[in-house]
Amino acid sequence: MKRTRKNRSLGNCVKLWLHPRRMKVLACGQTQMYCLAVVICMVIGFTMQILFSQQRILPVYQDVVRFSTWSAEEQEVPSDMKTCQPKEHIMFLKTHKTASSTILNILHRYGDHHNLTFALPIRYQFGYPYLFHSRRVKGFSPDRKQNYHILCHHMRFNLLEVNKVMPKDSFFFSIIRDPVTMAESSFTYYKNASPAFKKVPSFEVFVDNPLMYYNPNKMNNHYARNMLSFDFGFDHNAQFNTTYAKRIVSNVERTFQLILFSEYFDESLVLLKEALCWELDDMVAFKLNFRSKDSVHTLSPQTVEKLKEWNALDWYLYMHFNRTFWQKVEQFGWERMREEVLQLQKKQQELMKECLQGDKPVEANNIQDDSIRPFQYGQAKILGWVLKPDLDPLVKERCKRIITPELQYKDMLNVKQFPLSKHSVNPGSGTKLLLNQTVLLAGKEQGKHDSEMQTRLSQVNQDSNDQPNKAMR
């Protein structure tokens, strides 16, 4: 009995509250007390909502751990004084051999820290070298709207399908590199994956007469010609003419708000920070997935010229965005850029001192911990980092994330986002598996992937019997 009356009075109160002339609330007689209670609750509710939503908007670091060496005056302008809102809908086209792994680590950590949702590939790439398709996103369904924040793993870009997955206000960016040095890097890395490279005794021999070894119809020959144009989704075998090159450029320009450069990596990070409205601290990273100097070739001027010609579409793209990149720096301000780059480098050095054993990277096979050993592939000696041995557990956790290679980090995010699902690889041997999974970057068809994965999985499981995996937590 009492209960119904109470409910009715509450109903009246709410009606009154919603009524334009709210003053009437005061005149609701018997029910006044309930009214008052409801009003107070609502006020508290609104206040909490406002407070909570502000907390979402402002990227306040809630880390317990602050790196001791970051002194107060080095801190940036507090984020609550910024007029922009940090962008959290991000599409990063991860190109090959362009320092994109380091960018990926930045995105991984930011998203992880802020509990953002990644659109993850079912395995390690989105069906590369095939064009991206939304069905490759783990858990994606066209009928059920999901709010993905970040799409950043290897793909061949396909705007229509990307748009099905990512929100309309997503920030698109990518990174490119001089096609000449990139071609040399690609040769070392994909020597055995690309048919064009396989039978060539040396890079110079290939460059002297590429058409002798290059068959445009062969799978994985995009590693040998115009790899950037290919990754952006264009025809990398098209005969060069300015009409087509301009079309590529204007397409990329229309879709991507920012194109970064591996050659100007720190300046790129500053521009990215600005465009995303993030903090400089979010951009502090260590170089990941890079080669030791002794597997880098120096090229003769003739070779350089031949490579520009052979990769003419990429060269055009590169030259165009090199111009627009420096225009953006000009708009940002040269002096400000210089200062922020110095600040970033200083933060990076301090973090290295805090986290790392020695100031030099080491070869992958000298890294014992599977969870931080970089994936070794091709003829390049890929380097990685070693953590200081006795770090405070919280510092260690954060340091470890900075040097966690992309494949292992992707596995961690997968476990975080799909805690209950069966993983495509057995988590117990996951890292072991991927370190050995040479098919991975060779980019064969998905079907072949499965059977090869199976074979390798059994080999790996045998391996891991005597060397238990400590990677997955």
Ligand X SMILES: *[C@@H]1O[C@H](CO)[C@@H](O)[C@H](O)[C@H]1NC(C)=O
Residues forming the site for ligand X (CB under 6 A): 62, 114-115, 178, 238-239, 241, 243-244, 319, 322, 326, 376, 435-436, 459, 463
The Cα 380–Cα 101 span in angstroms is 16
Residue 334: enclosing H or E segment and its boundaries? helix 334-355
The Cα 87–Cα 59 span in angstroms is 10
Of 75 and 459, which has the nearer Cβ to ligand X? Answer: 459
- What minimum distance in Å lies between the beta carbon of 54 and ligand X? 14
Of 424 and 436, which has the nearer Cβ to ligand X? Answer: 436
Of 117 and 376, which has the nearer Cβ to ligand X? Answer: 376
CA angle 81, 86, 92 (to 5 degrees): 150
CB atoms within 10 A of CB 454: 10
The Cα 207–Cα 311 span in angstroms is 11
Strand duo 171-176 + 258-261: pairing: parallel
Closest C-alpha to 406, from 137, 113, 102, 177: 102
- What minimum distance in Å lies between the beta carbon of 464 and ligand X? 10
Examine residue 129 and say whether the peptide bond preceding it is cis (omega within 30 degrees of 0): yes
Q: Whats the size of the chain, residue-wise?
A: 473
Alpha helices in 168-311 (DSSP H): 179-190, 195-198, 203-208, 210-213, 227-231, 242-255, 265-276, 301-310
Of 83 and 239, which has the nearer Cβ to ligand X? Answer: 239
- Cβ neighbours of residue 444 closer than 8 Å, sequence gap 6 or more: 219, 452
Closest C-alpha to 99, from 229, 254, 266, 325: 266
- What minimum distance in Å lies between the beta carbon of 291 and ligand X? 15
- What minimum distance in Å lies between the beta carbon of 322 and ligand X? 4
Closest C-alpha to 405, from 429, 373, 379: 373
Of 285 and 317, which has the nearer Cβ to ligand X? Answer: 317
Of 200 and 288, which has the nearer Cβ to ligand X? Answer: 288
Torsions phi, psi for 72 (to 5 deg)? -60, -40
Q: State the maximum Cα–Cα separation within the chain, in Å, rounded to a whole number.
A: 95
Of 247 and 353, which has the nearer Cβ to ligand X? Answer: 247
- What minimum distance in Å lies between the beta carbon of 370 and ligand X? 8
Of all residues in the shown chain, the one whose CB is closest to ligand X is: 238
- What minimum distance in Å lies between the beta carbon of 186 and ligand X? 18
Of 292 and 322, which has the nearer Cβ to ligand X? Answer: 322
- What minimum distance in Å lies between the beta carbon of 47 and ligand X? 20
- What minimum distance in Å lies between the beta carbon of 177 and ligand X? 10
